[in-house]
Structures are given as structure tokens and as C-alpha cells.
Amino acid sequence: MTSSGNVQNGAKGDGVTLGERFRRIFPDVEKPLIAMAHLPALPGTPLYAAAEGVRGLVRQVREDVAVLVDAGFDAVMFCNENDRPYVLRAELVGAAVLARVVAECAPTEVPFGVDYLWDPECALAAAVATEASFIREVLTGSWESDMGSWSPDAAALLRRRRSLDAGHIAVFMNVTPEFASTTGGRSPADVARSVAVSSLPDAILVSGPMAGAEPEVPTLAEVRRVVPAEIPVLLNTGASATNISGFLEHADGCIVGSWLKNDGYTWNPVDPERARMFVEAARS
């Protein structure tokens, strides 16, 4: 099937074609750089800092977002990265506090997105509540994971987006989720090529085995080769100032978080110098 055939056959009921939502978010950016704004642990989770409270969450995230915008990133994505151990269904308090933090810390200079590990319905709800432009989730396949058996449902999520009249929210689909491995035998490229047809992704993401770990460059390159050109393929984990040029030879952009932190450690605050170094390396 040719790329042009994919566009024609991929036209969606609301008139949106493959990759169009992504291009609307980044109309003048060739390869967008999306930075993670990691929330500290939310209330009710094992690592929540009760003494700091929700105001402490807001303060830290707001500081990180300011650093990321100042460094020149094209977008910011909020995520409950420190809610370890992760769950497959969000609690109400987690959803509520995520939405509050995003609403209070969302940048006005660049687009922003929302991710909830690992509940797509929560991410979509928070995106609707905060007027986010995109979400990131695992939505396809069947996985054995650190969270147990895992079978997400792209059909339910996209139908929910339609019922909420939220067609402007792009859905970035991670086809190689961290902390998990597929229960089948298909390669990442085979999965991505199939998902591009079956699941109507607005972008496809390729990850390493866990947060902060990079995938193999040939894996990313093969995914990009088999996915229709209209659908962006992004590096989702493991980006650094030293490797980003190699990944961007194949990827249409990247999402980066861990390397930007003090000492390169995922749950630390953003380091302004690392953030600037990364953007400079990627732009070069």
C-alpha cells in the first residue's frame, strides 16, 4: 500500500487525515522537541510528600515548565512519572490532582500534552479539562508488564474522544511501552505498520525498555520505514544531547525527560544547563 493510498483510506469520520492533528499542533516545526514535565508523586501514592502537599507539586512543576520553555522546547508534556508502582486504572484523586497541576502550570508560549501512567481514559479526561493539545498512551496490543497482564483498548479511547467532541486532541500511541514486553511474536516494526492501519494513531512512539532507556537505532529506523510517511514517528525515551542527532536522522521528533534532569535522574528537577544543551544539540 502506498503512502497516498494510506492517506485516502485513512481519512477519519470528522475529515481529519493521517497526521493532520500533529501538523496542526506543530505547523512550522520540522522535528518537534517535546519535553517532559514530570509530576512528583500524587496524593495516595507511596512516594507522595504529604508535608509539601499539592501546592508543593504545583510549585515544582511550574519551575520545571519555566526552565523547559526558556530552553526552547516546542511543547511540554505533563506526566505522573513518580506514581510508582504504576497502575492501569487511575484513582479519582490522581485524576483530579493531575488536572489541577496541569491547569495551573500549563505554558502559554507552546502547546502541551498530558500522560497518565497507565490509564488512557484519565489522560483524555485531563486533556479535555485543561485544553491540552495531545495525549500519550499505550493503546494497542497485549503485554506482560511490571503492572501485570495488560490489554489496552484503542477503540474505546477513540470512541470516547468522539463522544466528548474532543477531536482536536491528538493521540500519540506508544507501540513499545516501557516496563513491558509483548505477549506475541511480532517485531516493533510489524506492530507499528499494523497499528498505523487498525488504530488511527496521530503519531507513533518508539521507546526503550524503561524510562530513560533508549531503543536501538535500527528499531526506530525500521518503524519509520514501514509506517506511512504521513504519520509521525517519534523517539519516546532515551534521548540525550549526545545521541539525539543519530535518532533524528530517522525520527520525526522526540520526547525527552530523564536526561534533562539534575544528574540525569528521572525524578530530579530539570537542570537548565542540560535543557539548553539538549536543544542546541538537536537543532544542530
Query: pLDDT over 90 for what percent of the chain?
Result: 94
Mean pLDDT of all residues in 185-192: 96
Give the per-residue pLDDT at 13: 57
Per-residue pLDDT for 179 more than 50? yes
* 110 domain-assigned: yes
Per-residue pLDDT for 210 more than 80? yes
Give the confidence band of 122 by pLDDT, cuts at 50, 70, 90. very high
Per-residue pLDDT for 101 more than 60? yes
Mean pLDDT of all residues in 77-103: 97
Q: Provide CB contacts within 8 A for 55, sequence distance 6+.
A: none
Q: How many structural domains does the chain have?
A: 1
pLDDT tens, 239-256? 999 999 999 999 999 999
Residue 144 cell numbers, joined: 506482560
Mean pLDDT of all residues in 136-163: 97
- The domain in which residue 87 lies consists of 17-139+148-283
Q: Provide CB contacts within 8 A for 169, sequence distance 6+.
A: 21, 124, 127, 128, 132, 133, 134, 135, 161
* Mean pLDDT of all residues belonging to the chain: 94
Residue tagged 507511596 (cell numbers): 46
Per-residue pLDDT for 283 more than 60? yes
Give the per-residue pLDDT at 9: 41
Report d(CA 104, CA 139) in Å as an integer.
Answer: 28
Give the per-residue pLDDT at 15: 80
* 2 domain-assigned: no
Report d(CA 30, CA 223) in Å as an integer.
Answer: 19
Give the per-residue pLDDT at 5: 38
Per-residue pLDDT for 25 more than 50? yes
Give the confidence band of 53 by pLDDT, cuts at 50, 70, 90. very high
Cβ neighbours, 10 Å, residue 142? 12
* 194 domain-assigned: yes
Give the per-residue pLDDT at 226: 98
* 188 domain-assigned: yes
What number of CA atoms fall less than 13 Å from residue 72's CA on the CB side?
12
Beta bridge partners of 134: 113, 170
Report d(CA 201, CA 187) in Å as an integer.
Answer: 18
Residue 23 maps to which CATH number? 3.20.20.70
Cβ neighbours, 10 Å, residue 95? 20
Query: pLDDT over 70 for what percent of the chain?
Result: 95
Residue 27 cell numbers, joined: 505547523
* 249 domain-assigned: yes
* 1 domain-assigned: no
Lowest mean pLDDT among 11-25, 119-133, 210-224: 11-25
* 4 domain-assigned: no
Per-residue pLDDT for 187 more than 70? yes
Per-residue pLDDT for 120 more than 80? yes
Tell me the whole-structure pTM to 2 decimals. 0.94
Lowest mean pLDDT among 6-20, 69-83, 132-146: 6-20
Per-residue pLDDT for 276 more than 80? yes
* 9 domain-assigned: no
